[in-house]
Structure 1
Amino acid sequence: MTESSTVLILGARGRFGLAATRAFAQAGWRVFAQLRPGASGPVIPGVVWLAAQPGDTARLAAAAHGAAVVVQGLSPVYTHQAWRRDLPGLTQAAIDVARELGALLMLPASVYNFGATMPPLLREDTVQAASTFKGGLRIASEAQVRMATQDGRMKAVVIRGGDFFGSGTGSWLDEVMVKAIQGGKFTYPGPLNVPTAWAWLPDMARSFVAVAGQRHRLPAFETLHFAGYSLTGQDWADVLADIAWERGWLPAGGKLRTRSLSWPMMRALSLVMPKIAALCEMRYQWHTPHALVNTRMAALTGAEPHTPFPEALRAALAELGLLTSRKEVAAKGATVTAQAFERSVS
């Protein structure tokens, strides 16, 4: 194994971190995957799990000696207080280990930087005019990384994507949109006719692998866009209606019931739930048409990984356990029990 095919992934048990861990391992890279002490990771061929705090630079650099790439999968919990308190330190932890290794630091990013006045097409050089607390912190975090590249000890690349879905729980998809899908209901946070940017994490993670493979062509600091999907609420409803019909979640001759998220109720909940308050701040995104333009990414790596949306959505729902019937769950449970019994008597 050569150093050119070794990567350290920070926050590898998070949603993006785990997607990146799988993508790099599937591409044949040797992966050192950091998680916090006491946590555990799934068995993935080619992955070595490292139990260490994000700021333990010496330990991480020694364990991942020879890694040419560091992926920043660390992220605070979704509240203003946590972001203000933790984001600068988590960013610095990633910078410190990348500098120690002399590696390329890869940072996933969002459209928060552009704010409520963002134009319909977001290019790499589009003016960033954040209108929210988190957008301002994202801009500061990326500037923090850029500054760290100026003395030549490391390179860095920011890869910006739309709203994440897939690779586990904790997204708009599972927490709001398909919460009642098995009852034939779909909830959408905005108007059904406004296109917004989305990123299926397995595809975005594969784009990280592609960029890492071209790191010798990158300048000291670069920003790239992962286009992903530009989807309206109606696009989601159409595919989900097909799935709901196939799975028997709709009454005979019935249609998928589409409803709007109650933002007044969200604002009321935000008074006692900090996470909801942070989500309310981003409401403008659902009313502002936007799509990411991936000109620089395409010039560097060619066509980005792009799974057809219906296929990606089905995969995301399967990960959430929504495409498994009670009968299938019972059958799987019986199989697992039988296998355990066989092991116990063998």
Structure 2
Amino acid sequence: MTQTSTVLILGARGRFGSAAVRAFARAGWQVHAQMRPGASALAIAGVTWLAAEPGDTALLAAAARDATVVIQGLSPAYTHKAWRKDMPGLTQAAIDVTRALGATLMLPASIYNFGETMPSLLREDTAQAASTFKGRMRIASEAQVRAATQDGRMKAVVIRGGDFFGSGSGSWLDEVMIKAIRRGSLTYPGPMNVPTAWAYLPDMARSFVEVAGRRHDLPAFETFHFAGYSLTGQDWADALRVIALGRGWLPAGGQLRTTSLSWLMMRALGLVMPKMAALCEMRYQWRTPHALLNTRMAALTGREPHTAFPDALHTALADLGLFSSTTTGAASAPALTRSTS
């Protein structure tokens, strides 16, 4: 990889897209960052912002004609209706511009593909047995990408990670877990002793940069796992307690109060709120121990980018504005909880 390497990032104002923009720019790549018309651009050195719809292949291919890598940061809204309507088209938009450029398409993926019967250790070749609508949509999307690589006009790389956090808002961390952290309370969606997979987006985005730099060594279609962290609810509680004590959100020697998400209330709200219904479908992930093995990633790059969890959590909270004296959003208590301690 040289200073002249160029990447086109689709959905660059989204959470993963923005993390990818920063990671590639910091690594010396020239970045073309697609955003919807009307969105605001960020001033980042080495980044050219393109105001265009994702499906405007001709415009994007012309503007980023020297791009050798395309990052798929596009994602539908978190409802079944939006995924059914938009996911195939967004995937095809990424395929179309990648084929026009003769480039390598790289896309982040989730553990949805494995379903409720997933084993505790998830390998790249673990059988995919999706048990949810979104899991089946993810499998179909990856198959759509794989099929597009068969004639040699493009290559593709899937990098699968656990639940995202960091790089802004919109995750379980900020929408549920830390809603009342400044009042010394943690809300957790599952049992406190079950390990689950998490991906810190700045690290995961850096793994995309490292794999992109070695894309010439890869077959037409390849899948990697980003191991990230395997964390229990207690791991989150311990790390958050240290921060809460340091920020004065807890008295000296104090303990976080833990509450559990009320899935009964979530299901009731899901009758009228599609997003709640979609979230409820994923409850099994909190009850099923799982971790991602990154065997192929380690073989290709040596060691995936890894920020120590306490440091990653501290930065994620800072990015959410939790350390600002004017922060008010985190002061409201979560509505969908029941006390467990």
Short-chain TM bin: over 0.9
For 2:225, give the aligned amino acid: H
Could you give the per-residue CA deviations for residues 175-228 of structure 1, whole angstroms, max 9, x where no partner exists?
000000000000000000000000000000000000000010010000000000
SS at match of 1:285: helix
Contact 2:4/2:30 (8 A) holds in 1: no
- Cα separation, partners in 2 of 1:103 and 1:248, compared to 1, 3 Å: same
The residue number in structure 1 matching 2:304 is 304
**Residue type of the alignment partner of 2:42:** P
Please give the secondary structure, in 2, of the residue aligned with 1:23. helix
Give 1:271 shift: 1.1
Q: Which AA in structure 2 matches 1:33? A: A
Secondary structure class of the residue paired with 2:74: coil
Aligned to 1:50: 50
1:306 is matched by which residue type in structure 2?
H
Secondary structure of the residue aligned to 1:107 is: strand
Q: For 1:137 and 1:4, locate their aligned partners in 2 and report how far apart those are by CA, in whole Å.
A: 36
- 1:123-202 paired onto structure 2 within 5 Å: 123-202=123-202
Do the aligned partners of 1:3 and 1:66 also contact (CA within 8 Å) in 2? no
Q: Distance in 1 between matches of 2:61 and 2:53?
A: 12
Which residues of structure 1 form unaligned runs of 5+?
A: 328-346
Q: What do residues 145-170 of structure 1 show as CA deviations (whole Å, max 9, x unaligned)?
A: 00000000000000000000001110
**Secondary structure of 1:66's match?**
coil
1:235 lines up with 2:235 in the alignment: yes
Structure 2 partner of 1:79: 79
- Report how many aligned residue pairs link the two structures: 327
**TM superposition score normalised by structure 2:** 0.94
- Asked if 2 retains the 8 angstrom alpha-carbon contact of 1:24 and 1:206, the reply is yes
Which residue number corresponds to residue 219 of structure 2?
Answer: 219
Q: CA shift at 1:40, angstroms?
A: 1.3
- Name the residue aligned to 2:111: 111
Q: Is the 8 A contact 2:3 2:29 kept in 1?
A: no
What does the per-residue CA deviation read over 1:48-96, in whole Å, with 9 as the maximum and x for residues that have no partner?
A: 0000000000000000011000000000000000000000000000000
Distance 1:4 1:49 in 2: 17
* Match of residue 280 from structure 1: 280
How far did 1:251 drift?
3.6
Q: Quick one: which amino acid aligns to residue 90 of structure 2? A: L
**Distance in 1 (alpha carbons) for counterparts of 2:206 and 2:112:** 22
Cα distance, 1:3 vs. partner?
9.1
5+ long unaligned stretches in structure 2 = 328-341
Instruction: Specify the alignment match of 1:268 in structure 2.
Output: 268
Larger Rg: 1
Q: What is the rounded CA distance, in whole Å, between the counterparts of 1:101 and 1:24 in structure 2?
A: 18
Q: What SS is found at the alignment partner of 2:187? A: strand
Q: Quick check: which one's helix share is greater?
A: 1
Q: Deviations over 1:283-340 (max 9, x none)?
A: 000000000000001111110000000000000000000022249xxxxxxxxxxxxx
Task: Sort the Cα spacing of 1:218 and 1:245 in 2 relative to 1 into closer, same or farther, 3 A.
Answer: same
- Check the 8 A contact 1:163/1:197 in 2, yes or no: yes
Distance 1:231 1:151 in 2: 41
Does the 8 A contact of 1:4 with 1:67 survive in 2? no
1: CA distance between counterparts of 2:49 and 2:2?
19
**Matched letter for residue 214 of structure 2:** Q
- RMSD (CA atoms): 1.3
Whether contact under 8 Å (1:3, 1:67) holds in the other structure is no
Q: Which runs of 4+ in 1 moved over 6 A?
A: none
> In 2, distance between residues paired with 1:273 and 1:128?
29
Deviation of residue 268 (structure 1)?
1.0
